[in-house]
Each structure stands twice: as structure tokens, then as C-alpha cells.
Amino acid sequence: MDVPLTGRAFEDHDLESRLADQGIVARRVEKDEKERFISWMAADGWSAGWQYQAGTACDAEPSAAFVAEKDGEFLGFAVYDGVRPGWFGPTGTSESRRGSGIGSILFLKCVEDMQDKGYPVCHICAVGPLYFYSKVVGAAVSRIFWLMDKDLSSV
């Protein structure tokens, strides 16, 4: 999916305030937090591949990784540039916090940061929840890949 970034505003002050009222803050991952962040991802069940991509995003200057936290506990994350420049993802919210708006605010923080860096488009790679991205920023499907296989054992 793609999100055009030029000439748009991505802030959602109402959502950010609602989360802040619950003690939840969305912010950039600092360089010295990378190890704690990746350890949390592992403990929360996120794949080694996603951990690698998030670590790569943390190494950007400034960090291209964002987290939501409450009382020092990470609740969700979103990163970009972990695979290649201009690509968003991976992103995830702890299972017990899904549906709270954490994923939306983290995604918005990333696209706003990508816009500030001068990217004209945010490419969302390996999309799972099409409706989520469409609803939050009007992302549109831009390409489709089909995974195909064939059993050759009888050939």
C-alpha cells in the first residue's frame, strides 16, 4: 500500500491526548534504548526478522523507531526504513492493548517523520490489515504479490 505524504497533515492531537490521559505516550526510541526495545520485542513474541528490522530502524539518525509506553513499559512499536528507505514496517501492539489507538498513533508518528525527512510516499510493505491503513491515512493498494507453489513430488 502507498500513502502520498506531500501536502498533508498527519497529527492526531485528539488521539494523542486521549492516550496521554491514560498515561500512554508515543515517542521516538532513543539510541541507548535499542537493546531494551529489542529485548521487549522478543519477550512480547515478535519475530526475529521483525526484531532485526526494528534494530536497523533504531540505528538510523535520528532513530526511525517509535514506541508507545506507559510507566516505562512498552505497549507497541512502529518503525520505518528497517528494510529500505521509504518503507514502513513492521509495526505491532501488545495483544492486550489492541484496539486502543496505539497502533494508529504510532503509524501517524512514522508517516509524519517520513514526511519531515522529505519522502514523497510511504510504502507499506507486507500489509496484513488493509482496512487499518486505509482508515487511518487513506492508504491505497499499490501492488499485489501472489505466493504460489506447486507439488512436484509426483513429477
Q: Is 94 domain-assigned?
A: yes
Q: Is 70 domain-assigned?
A: yes
pLDDT in tens, 37-52: 999 999 999 999 999 9
Question: Cell digits for 14?
Answer: 485528539
147 has a pLDDT exceeding 80: yes
The whole-model pTM stands at 0.88
pLDDT in tens, 5-30: 999 999 899 999 999 999 999 999 99
Q: Is 155 domain-assigned?
A: no
Of 75, 79, 124, the closest CA to residue 97 belongs to: 75
Q: Is 103 domain-assigned?
A: yes
Q: What is the per-residue burial (b if ≥16 Cβ within 10 Å, else e) of 106-133? A: bbbbbbbbbbeeebeebbbbebeeeebb
Number of domains in the chain: 1
Q: Give percent of the chain with pLDDT exceeding 90.
A: 74
Of 96, 92, 102, 34, the closest CA to residue 62 belongs to: 34
127 has a pLDDT exceeding 80: no
Residues spanned by the domain of 104 = 2-137
CATH code, domain carrying 74: 3.40.630.30
